[in-house]
Structure 1
Amino acid sequence: MTTNRLLKQTMRTIRQESRHLAPTWLGQWFKWLAPGLFVKRWMLISAGGVLLVSLGLAIWVKLTPIFYLMQFAADLLETLSRLLPSYVSGPLVLIAGVLLILWGQTRTFGSITNVLMTDRDEELVDVLLTARRLNRGPRIVTIGGGTGLSTLLRGLKRSSANITAIVTVADDGGSSGRLRREIGGLPPGDIRNCIAALADEEKLLTELFQYRFKAGDGLVGHSFGNLFLTVLSDITGDFEQAITASSKVLAVRGQVLPATLSDVCLWAELEDGRRIEGESSITKANGKIVRIGCTPPNPPALPRALEALYKADYIVIGPGSLYTSVIPNLLAPEIANAIAERQVPCVYVCNIMTQPGETDGYSVADHIRAIDIACGKPLFDAVLVQKQPPSAKALIRYAEEQSHPVGVDRDAVTKLGRRIIRADVMHEDEETGLVRHDSERLARVLLRWYGRRSRES
């Protein structure tokens, strides 16, 4: 009795476990039949190859062994049909064949998964489906720099792998500025941030790339990624190749490109007549900017950046510091001309708060005018602005720094021929009161607007 009870309990447990496992197992298996994976066709081709090999061998040996083999199989089937009716033996043989096929294919894909997915919890088929979905995403070109652009890229990479980030190389402050002055070459800071933002969830490598030294003679304040890019560009002799190699290390979705390979230096003319040289000095001057440019003037754009713009389905400018992150990219006339010529949706993501020493008292229309004046022509047809204002706590915190929400002057924006997209794309840190764009919300709103525009056209 004890043995029978134990057997019944074991069978009951097995049935319960199989109920839970079967749907998951079957679901994972049927995913391999999803369209677009390019797996089914190769399996059928392989099966056809096996049949051709068998046929070739049969012809080569003049069918003699094949004849006896088929005769043996016929005798065996005849014997089975006498022992078991065809309505029993047929399904049994069919089920046995299906089980062998499933077992063989499962072990095959399992072996492939063990080799390719050693450090990931996802199933191989899920990774392939995700890659297929991302590769079919729109070709998006983003233009800017600083933390604003990297925030946008973190959200967009979840919807498309066809992303190109065109990044300013006018930075001359912090670690990038020190490397630029002491070693020469282009500043790597904004490039590094964008590469890390587009990394394919390689957490350890991304943290390494963003690591900032806290001790060491001459190392304090430098980030490992900045040093890595600087050294690699010296080894390869080409900053562009250094970026490409770094992107491969971090498995970047898309590509990160400098706007130009020229060693540009920003300058700004202020309302009080002063001329300020250097990107980091412009904000510190605390004056109203009336004109901005760079030395040397009209730097040539990177050819790959122009190629990406001419192939783009969607162009996003910003977010980022207006005069020191966004406009510097557009001072390369070829980039501004390429954007203006493209008849594709183009959006400017306006900052949520004004930036002291750069955009004091600016409205949305003021941002648009500044870009139009710097480029000599309108580039985008819509502007994305934050809908709800920050909390009272955040407003008080920013007011102490002479920063306020960017005002939305609808009539002025309309007169400039732009559409306004109003949406809640803000993230506010409850502890510090810092206001930033939320990467997921921002990407979702931009992609939704792009989908709507695509349907309209």
Structure 2
Amino acid sequence: MSIGFIKQALNTLLPQSRRRTSYRVNQWFKWLSPGLSVKRWLLISISGVVLGVLGLAISIRLTPIFWAIELLRNFLGKITDIVPYYISGPIVLLLGLLLLLWGQTRTVSSITQVLRPGAEEELVDVLLAHRRLYRGPKIVVIGGGTGLSTLLSGLKTYSANITAIVTVGDDGGSSGRLREEFGMLPPGDIRKCLTALADEEKLLTELFEYRFSSGDGLSGHSFGNLFLTALSDITGDLERAVAASSKVLAIRGQVLPATLSDIRLWAELSDGRRIVGESKITDAKGTITDFGCTPIDPKALPAAIKAIKEADYIIIGPGSLYTSVIPNLLVPQIADAIAAADVPRIYVCNIMTQPGETQGYSVSEHIKAIDKACGRPLFNAVLVHQKSPSPRALVRYAQGNSHPVFLDREDVTKLGRRIVLANIMHEDEKGCVRHDSQKLAKVLIKWYSGAKI
């Protein structure tokens, strides 16, 4: 009866024990994964112990060690008389390895508790993820606004080698006020990209997007804009301020303004009006026939050109066509660098048309607008959302004269662009349509993997 009870208890406990043991062994062997640069240092450590013992033996002329070895030899001889060497040897070897792994595990655990208190992830998993991300493709993403930050928050799970080149043509809201009052470049779009690439995205987004609702001179400003303004004053310019912010926020990748020139966007409308100022162009609610900026030849940031030349993959958009995407391409050096890049280049087309900018535009008309602004084709593929929004969303957007961007396949093909169709949309409970960051990033990475073969 007692034997049966013991067997039952063992059968209950052993599966749990096996699960815990297999998990721990799996975690141990992860330290031997390629790319962690751990195996070499472990081997060097063991070699150091062996050489240390050898050096000690030489320095004391082997006398105490000789007697210790003799004692150990006699002891082992007695053991092998009882248990054969082909059994006792592997058991002792296994015991030694287990003690070594246990000691290393406890050492790493102690270090982890200091460096990452309260962290749920194992340190080895963090290191593996870090190695994977920093071996990812060098991706350059060009755009601005909410569309670019949405894409970046998805891409950062695939690579840490991301460079976001961001427009600096904004002159509305908090950015516009800071631009006028302090004479600095607008920080709004850059702020959104920094928070999107930060590891602690949720908390930092809440902090950087926080807007003061009261206070003399503070009302309407976001904390992130004020933070970048202060850093610009301390470091001397926006480029250095962004670099310093990137270190503070520990972002994956880098964010660069397209230019440090104080550019002003202008648009000529079909009714003859000429509108100056990014915020005024959309508010004019007209049809854009020509578009540009002053000065007409802004100088590109050298770091941005370097990133494009070293890129493995270039993504343009998504974002407002005339006020977020095209302004970057009005910097001639940036357009030249993209055109010269022999890497996969794709444009992410918007899901819905935008009143005041692209009302009535099809996919091909988005492409033609970019080609016209740059004077040449800059990308060889276009990503288009496949599935139509819900009827509720269509009604909501139609009330604001916005509709899904129509895919005119034949015209796009005539422009020499490959069409990439995918479901990359997120629709919230209110019927608001946006790109889904994870779906969008997954499709773009998958297309890149196929395009580079």
Q: TM-score range by the shorter chain?
A: over 0.9
Deviation at 1:172, TM superposition (A): 0.7
Instruction: Confirm or deny: 8 A CA contact 1:141 1:316 kept in the other structure.
Output: yes
Partner secondary structure for residue 452 of structure 2? helix
Measure, in 1, the Cα distance between the counterparts of 2:424 and 2:142.
18
Identify the range of structure 1 (212-221 vs 239-248) with the bigger mean alpha-carbon deviation. 212-221
Structure 2: which amino acid aligns with 1:147?
Answer: T
Instruction: Confirm or deny: 8 A CA contact 1:315 1:344 kept in the other structure.
Output: yes
Report what 2:289 is aligned to: 290
Report what 2:403 is aligned to: 404
Measure, in 2, the Cα distance between the counterparts of 1:89 and 1:246.
60
Deviation at 1:446, TM superposition (A): 1.1
Instruction: Confirm or deny: 8 A CA contact 1:340 1:379 kept in the other structure.
Output: yes
Instruction: Confirm or deny: 8 A CA contact 1:206 1:250 kept in the other structure.
Output: no
After the TM superposition, which residues 326-405 of structure 1 pair with which residues of structure 2 at under 5 Å, given as runs? 326-405=325-404
Change (3 A) 1:437 1:205: closer
Structure 1: which amino acid aligns with 2:446?
Answer: R
Deviation at 1:16, TM superposition (A): 4.8
Change (3 A) 1:427 1:66: same
Instruction: Confirm or deny: 8 A CA contact 1:151 1:197 kept in the other structure.
Output: yes
After the TM superposition, which residues 264-303 of structure 1 pair with which residues of structure 2 at under 5 Å, given as runs? 264-303=263-302
Identify the range of structure 1 (98-107 vs 432-441) with the bigger mean alpha-carbon deviation. 98-107
Deviation at 1:392, TM superposition (A): 1.6
Structure 1: which amino acid aligns with 2:252?
Answer: R
Say how many residue pairs are matched. 453
Q: Does 1:450 align with 2:444?
A: no
Measure, in 2, the Cα distance between the counterparts of 1:94 and 1:408.
67
Structure 2: which amino acid aligns with 1:310?
Answer: K
Structure 2: which amino acid aligns with 1:251?
Answer: A
Report what 2:16 is aligned to: 17
Report what 1:81 is aligned to: 80
Partner secondary structure for residue 315 of structure 1? strand
Instruction: Confirm or deny: 8 A CA contact 1:301 1:332 kept in the other structure.
Output: yes
Structure 2: which amino acid aligns with 1:315?
Answer: I
Change (3 A) 1:12 1:409: closer
Identity %: 66
Measure, in 2, the Cα distance between the counterparts of 1:84 and 1:435.
73
Report what 2:311 is aligned to: 312
Change (3 A) 1:7 1:220: farther
Deviation at 1:363, TM superposition (A): 1.1
After the TM superposition, which residues 396-435 of structure 1 pair with which residues of structure 2 at under 5 Å, given as runs? 396-430=395-429, 432-435=430-433
Change (3 A) 1:91 1:213: same
Instruction: Confirm or deny: 8 A CA contact 1:347 1:383 kept in the other structure.
Output: yes
Structure 1: which amino acid aligns with 2:450?
Answer: R
Cα-to-partner distance string for 1:226-252 (whole Å, 9 max, x where unaligned) = 110110110111211211121122221
Cα-to-partner distance string for 1:425-451 (whole Å, 9 max, x where unaligned) = 111123x21111111111111111111
Instruction: Confirm or deny: 8 A CA contact 1:282 1:357 kept in the other structure.
Output: yes
Structure 1: which amino acid aligns with 2:265?
Answer: L
Deviation at 1:58, TM superposition (A): 2.4
Q: How big is the alpha-carbon RMSD for the aligned residues of Structure 1 and Structure 2? A: 2.0
Deviation at 1:67, TM superposition (A): 2.3
Report what 1:33 is aligned to: 32
Identify the range of structure 1 (265-274 vs 200-209) with the bigger mean alpha-carbon deviation. 200-209
Deviation at 1:13, TM superposition (A): 6.1
Partner secondary structure for residue 305 of structure 1? helix
Structure 1: which amino acid aligns with 2:395?
Answer: I
Identify the range of structure 1 (187-196 vs 245-254) with the bigger mean alpha-carbon deviation. 245-254
Identify the range of structure 1 (245-254 vs 203-212) with the bigger mean alpha-carbon deviation. 203-212
Structure 2: which amino acid aligns with 1:453?
Answer: A
Measure, in 2, the Cα distance between the counterparts of 1:96 and 1:36.
28
Measure, in 2, the Cα distance between the counterparts of 1:92 and 1:409.
72
Report what 1:170 is aligned to: 169
Cα-to-partner distance string for 1:174-199 (whole Å, 9 max, x where unaligned) = 11111111122011110010111111
Q: Does 1:436 align with 2:442?
A: no
Deviation at 1:256, TM superposition (A): 0.7
Identify the range of structure 1 (358-367 vs 55-64) with the bigger mean alpha-carbon deviation. 55-64
Cα-to-partner distance string for 1:389-421 (whole Å, 9 max, x where unaligned) = 212211111111111111111121111111111
Measure, in 1, the Cα distance between the counterparts of 2:16 and 2:423.
46
Unaligned runs of 5+ in 2: none
Measure, in 2, the Cα distance between the counterparts of 1:409 and 1:8.
72
Structure 1: which amino acid aligns with 2:242?
Answer: I
Instruction: Confirm or deny: 8 A CA contact 1:202 1:250 kept in the other structure.
Output: no
Partner secondary structure for residue 314 of structure 2? strand
Deviation at 1:34, TM superposition (A): 1.4
Instruction: Confirm or deny: 8 A CA contact 1:202 1:251 kept in the other structure.
Output: no
Report what 1:132 is aligned to: 131
Change (3 A) 1:216 1:448: same
Identify the range of structure 1 (403-412 vs 305-314) with the bigger mean alpha-carbon deviation. 403-412
Instruction: Confirm or deny: 8 A CA contact 1:229 1:242 kept in the other structure.
Output: yes
Report what 1:233 is aligned to: 232
TM-score (normalizing by structure 1): 0.94
Measure, in 2, the Cα distance between the counterparts of 1:404 and 1:90.
76
Report what 1:219 is aligned to: 218
Partner secondary structure for residue 290 of structure 1? strand
Deviation at 1:359, TM superposition (A): 1.0
Measure, in 1, the Cα distance between the counterparts of 2:238 and 2:188.
13
Change (3 A) 1:280 1:18: same
